[in-house]
Chain A
Amino acid sequence: MKLLSISDGKGYFLSYSGEQTLLDKIAKEDLLRLVELTLSSDCQLDAYDPSLIHNQAHQIIYENIWSRLCELASKKKQFLDESKRLYLSEYERYKNDRPSAREVPVAECS
């Protein structure tokens, strides 16, 4: 699945309909989808090469999106781990339906 591509001197992105669409049409919802696809599947991006993109507005947008998605793809595991850091120990305990140490009754000290 190719998220970003270069063709005929222009930049394209994979739109919701599955078509390669001109980069000047990209909106924030499309960007969010590209981020999600990068994290959830193995995607491909045409490497940014300004000499192949003649439209300067496309160059700016392409470079920005390409560099961020490349960075994200390289830190995919770290990104997913970080989002699951909160309450991880409780999650693992409760998921296995095991009582925690604090749930075991403790005799009060006299």
Chain B
Amino acid sequence: MIKIDLHIHTIPTASDSAFDFDLAKLKAYVASASLDAIAITNHNVFDFRQYEDIRSNVTGSVLPGIEVDVDGCHVLVIADPPRADKLVLASQRLEERNAGPDNPVAVSDLLEIFGNLSDYIIIPHSEKKPAIRAATFASLAAFVTAGEVDSPKKFVRCAKDEQKLVPVLFSDARMSATLERFPARCTFLQCGEPTFAAIKETLRYRSKVFLSREDGNALFPVLGDGLEVSTGLNVLLGDRSSGKTHLLNRISAEHDNVKYIRQFSLVQLDEAQYERDFNAELDRRRSRHSEEYLSAFKGVVDEIFGIDLDAHDRSLDIFVDALLRSAEEVDRADSFSKTRLFSESTFKIAEDNSLATLIEAVRHLIENVENRPIIEKHLDLAPLRALAVELIEALWARNAERSKKDVANRIIEDARRQLAVRTSATQVPDLDLYAIAMDRKRVARFEEIARDLRREAVIYERPVQGFRVVARKRPFGGAGELKAISGKKIAFSDAMDCYNQPYEFLRCLMGKPELAEADFYRFFAHIVYEILNRDGYNVSGGERSEYRLIQEISDAQSFDLLLIDEPESSFDNMFLKGNVNAIIRDIARTMPVIVVTHNSTVGASLGADYLLCARKESGPTGRTHKIYRGYPTDQSLRAHDGSSVPTYDVLLTSLEAGEEAYQQRRASYEAVKH
């Protein structure tokens, strides 16, 4: 088994913050981490002289490489040391092209710059930002050796999935003089010699690539000093002041994307403040839910917003009045009013997107990649293309027709206006009665929808570990609730008076300049978001903490590592055993979790994959903090220096206050029972 880190930076470039390379630091890192092979991979550049200097000073295999910006992602191109001269040439070409994050090279350029890509180890970022895009990968796939990930969680996921690239985890570290802690990220390969050829060959097999030297992907180094923990569930035990929280803080500092639930962070220290925070959190969730639920209604409001029925009524009055007068004045007709255009109406040009929608649908059918096999099973693409062509021609013809009518309408309008100026006869206005009738129908439908919307009902209900999250809708109860939703200090009593006439209500909201048009849809129905306890009542203070803990742990899915410091701080054992343990176990199936606990309910019932024990010990050099570790089934837990402690002692001391207390408690329970 060899240990490798094929992603190390030694030259600051446009993609890095400035740093001074320190060869001594690199040597110390390689020695301390017991690395068998490293690669020097700077952004778009290769310095042969520096590489030779590193190679002659660092033990183990040192491979030359470049991290290239390719189509918006990063790709490691690593060469066999005897071919380092190829990288010198490639580096010159990259410099000529001014390659960098703002000027990435294309895959086709990569072939030109590096020559035959089969001669290299090619590792793109796969589960790491900036990750390779599907199209770029398609062009590069034939040459790709492995895919770089940025966390053990992603490594394990990719290692199990045959569809993914063979994963590798590297430090991506800058070897600067100011580097305080050595990185823990590395990869182990099941191969003999750390040569370029052996590494390249081994990376072809996911069964030969691991996170740890002896335990496959069950463990991974969590700190640069070699401390390994499980990729599943770890329980960290230890007395008070034995360094448990200090260890979690170190792990949190050395890893990115960590969810860290600190001790007492969920305890109610200030009841009033806590309730405000809790309600604010509820309000955020309610707001998100309202947005989702009301999004369709927003479209309806936006359409009604432009309809002014009062203006329509006024136009109708003017139309009828003009019509009657023109009938009375029939004798006063002159050469102007007698022309046909004087009383001509314009062409009505209605917006109609149905043809465009249809073309889009056909286009999707032709171009959809994801469901191609299903589509092709039922439809032949050639006639679909012919259909699209015909529909597009129909759309063009319709657009041309509209444009022609538009020209004719402008002639009619100008001629009508000029003829009207020259005659004393009354001109009947051009009124689109169809549009007016349609608007009335739209408003009637809107009123119907708005009344349905405010009808009281539960719109969302989800059980969350013994709680129920419920969103319900109901009518607004008063102007105060409208004001609260608006978040503004304006009166809503006038709007509330016409709340039962949705169209009138909307017009009233439109009369309030402080309100944004885009927010009007939020005032028609009140969405209330509640967390109910097992009995269906609103949660109490203690229950609020329980709910927040569950939320915090559940939210950890999007992180790469979850650290929990003493979840028992403020919860009863039944809640911990029944709810929290189950969630922690679930989440540990997909990511590494480290739980610090003193509580036997958590510690003993959790079913840990790995045990860690922090101890403060006195030695010849004074008091030292040690971490013992091992599987729960091991007889003893071992520290880095080879010393060990019996697992049974650790469990009883940490969780039961020692053997004696445990036996006493046991005897007491027996006595009470009998």
Interfacial residues, chain A to chain B (CB-CB below 8 A): 23-28, 31-32, 35-36, 39, 55-57, 60-61, 64-65, 68, 72, 79-80, 82-84, 86-87, 90-91, 93-95, 97, 99-100, 102-103, 105-110
Contacts and interface: CB of A to CB of B under 8 A. Distances in A.
A66 B398 CA distance: 25
Interface string B205-240: 000000000000000000000000000000000000
Interface string B404-446: 1101101110110011001000000000000000000000000
Contacts of B133: 109
Interface in B375-411: 381-382, 385-386, 388-389, 392-393, 395-396, 399-400, 403-405, 407-408, 410-411
Given A84-B396, A94-B388, A64 B404 contact: no
A39 B404 contact: yes
Given A100-B366, A102-B369, A109-B132, A83 B341 contact: no
Contacts of B412: 28, 31
Nearest to B359: A87
B137 interface: yes
A52 B429 CA distance: 31
Contact of A83 (B336, B367, B372, B400): B400
Nearest to A23: B339
**Smallest CB-CB A-B distances: 10 pairs:** A94-B385, A109-B137, A110-B164, A24-B339, A110-B165, A83-B400, A31-B408, A102-B367, A57-B335, A35-B404
Given A84-B396, A110-B126, 13 more contacts: A24-B335, A28-B412, A64-B411, A68-B410, A94-B389, A106-B135, A106-B138, A107-B141, A108-B134, A109-B137, A110-B147, A110-B161, A110-B164
B453 to A, nearest CB: 36
A87 B392 CA distance: 7
Contacts of A93: 385
A51 to B, nearest CB: 18
Given A31-B412, A84-B396, A87-B392, A110 B407 contact: no
B407 A35 contact: yes
Interface of B: 126, 131-138, 141, 147, 158, 161, 163-165, 335-336, 338-341, 344-347, 356, 359, 363, 366-367, 369, 372, 381-382, 385-386, 388-389, 392-393, 395-396, 399-400, 403-405, 407-408, 410-412, 414-415, 418-419, 422
10 contacts: A24-B340, A26-B339, A57-B336, A72-B407, A79-B400, A86-B356, A91-B388, A100-B366, A107-B138, A110-B164
A110 B145 CA distance: 12
B399 to A, nearest CB: 5
A37 to B, nearest CB: 10
Nearest to B399: A83
Given A82-B403, A87-B392, A105 B372 contact: yes
A90 B344 contact: no
A60 B366 contact: no
A87 B415 contact: no
A95 B369 CA distance: 21
Among B158, B163, B418, the most chain A Cβ lie within 10 Å of the Cβ of B418
Contact of A60 (B164, B389, B418): B418
A28 B134 contact: no
Contacts of A57: 335-336, 338-339, 419, 422
A107 B385 CA distance: 24
A64 B158 CA distance: 73
A56 B126 contact: no
A50 B226 CA distance: 99
Overall SS of chain B's interface: helix
Nearest to A72: B407
Overall SS of chain A's interface: helix
A91 B399 CA distance: 15
Nearest to B402: A83
A95 to B, nearest CB: 5
A80 B158 contact: no
Contacts, number: 136
B366 to A, nearest CB: 7
B369 A105 contact: yes
Given A56-B335, A105-B369, A105-B372, A26 B399 contact: no
Contacts of A36: 404
A61 B411 CA distance: 8
B416 to A, nearest CB: 10
A97 B367 CA distance: 13
Contact of A64 (B132, B403, B414): B414
B504 to A, nearest CB: 38
A39 B401 CA distance: 11
B339 to A, nearest CB: 4
B422 A56 contact: yes
A87 B422 CA distance: 47
A100 B338 CA distance: 59
B389 A95 contact: yes
Nearest to A28: B344
Given A94-B385, A105-B369, A110-B158, A27 B344 contact: yes
A31 to B, nearest CB: 4
Nearest to B339: A24
A90 B382 contact: no
Contacts of B336: 56-57, 60
Contact of A86 (B372, B395, B404): B395
Contacts of A99: 381
A107 B137 contact: yes
Contacts of B356: 86
A26 B338 CA distance: 11
Contacts of A86: 356, 392, 395-396, 399
Contacts of B126: 109-110
Contacts of A94: 366, 385-386, 388-389, 392
Contacts of A24: 335, 338-341
A91 B408 contact: no
Nearest to A60: B418
A22 to B, nearest CB: 9
A109 B164 CA distance: 8
A80 B396 CA distance: 9
Nearest to B146: A110
Nearest to B147: A110
Among B163, B347, B411, B419, the most chain A Cβ lie within 10 Å of the Cβ of B411
Contacts of B158: 110
B335 A106 contact: no
B272 to A, nearest CB: 51
A61 B372 contact: no
Contact of B419 (A25, A32, A60, A109): A60
Contact of B404 (A32, A61, A84): A32
A61 B137 contact: no
A32 B347 contact: yes
A45 B161 CA distance: 75
Nearest to B423: A57
Contacts of A32: 347, 404-405, 408
A56 B180 CA distance: 94
A28 B406 CA distance: 11
